[in-house]
Amino acid sequence: MIEYISGEVVELTPTSAVIETTGGVGYFLNITLYTYTGMKQGERTRLWVHEAIREDAYVLYGFRGRKERELFQLLISVSGVGPNTARMILSGLSPEEFEQVIATENVGLLKSVKGIGAKTAQRIIVDLKDKIKAVGSPLVNSMPQVSETYEEAMAALSMLGFAPQASQKVVQKLMKDAPGIRVEEVIKQALKML
């Protein structure tokens, strides 16, 4: 897994960037307008990465911060929302605005994003309102170590062959009940519950 890519911005458009790393390798990343506004060609940057590995392509998505990446990952977990739709939403709304839209259940503002209809907007709000605890604080990002614990536990359960949907529910419940829980304990308890 690529966590982030750090290097010089050698090409930049409102939808993509090429980052050249120290080894002379250039990575093509799809980006949001929000990420684009914080970058300049020729300057060094760090983008947090989401990898989409498909049968026909290996696609990288880059984000200015972890919060934006986590919101992107939450969005693509919603049925009917693909990476391009998620990128469009996060191009039209900053991470803070998007969290506000979900917290206030503002279907109208979400529908204002190109390509988002009423049904999709409602589905996004219904699916994500419990995952975004309070304005500015997604469940999996309430504390940095919680995010790492969540990701490590999910990766371990996935490697053990458990379905992501079932694992996600169990891990989130365990972490909600005991916010400071260690990753080993999450995995042990999850194995008993799955």
Nearest of 160, 123, 156 to residue 174 by alpha carbon: 156
What fold characterizes domain 66-138?
A: DNA polymerase; domain 1 (1.10.150)
**CATH number of the structural domain 143-193:** 1.10.8.10
Structure confidence by residue, pLDDT tens digits, 157-175: 877 777 777 888 888 888 8
pLDDT at 176: 83
Q: Name the nearest CA neighbour of 129 among 109, 100, 157.
A: 100
Q: What is the mean pLDDT of the chain?
A: 85
Query: Of all residues in the chain, what percent carry a pLDDT higher than 90?
Result: 43
- Reported as a pLDDT band with limits 50, 70 and 90, residue 8 is very high
How much is the average pLDDT of 117-129? 91
Torsion of CA 37, 43, 48, 53, to 10 degrees: 100
Q: For residues 62-87, give the mean pLDDT.
A: 93
Dump the DSSP string for 51-86: EEE-SS-EEEEEESSHHHHHHHHHHHTSTT--HHHH
Q: For residue 115, report the phi and psi dihedrals to the nearest 5 degrees.
A: 90, 0
pLDDT at 149: 78
Q: How far apart are the first and last CA of the chain?
A: 25
- Topology of domain 4-63 in CATH is OB fold (Dihydrolipoamide Acetyltransferase, E2P) (2.40.50)
pLDDT of residue 7: 95
pLDDT computed for residue 144 by the predictor:
38
Phi, psi of 130 (to 5 degrees): -80, -25
pLDDT tens digits, residue range 102-122? 988 888 888 888 778 889 999
104 vs 137, residue with greater confidence: 104
Tell me the domain boundaries of the chain: 4-63, 66-138, 143-193
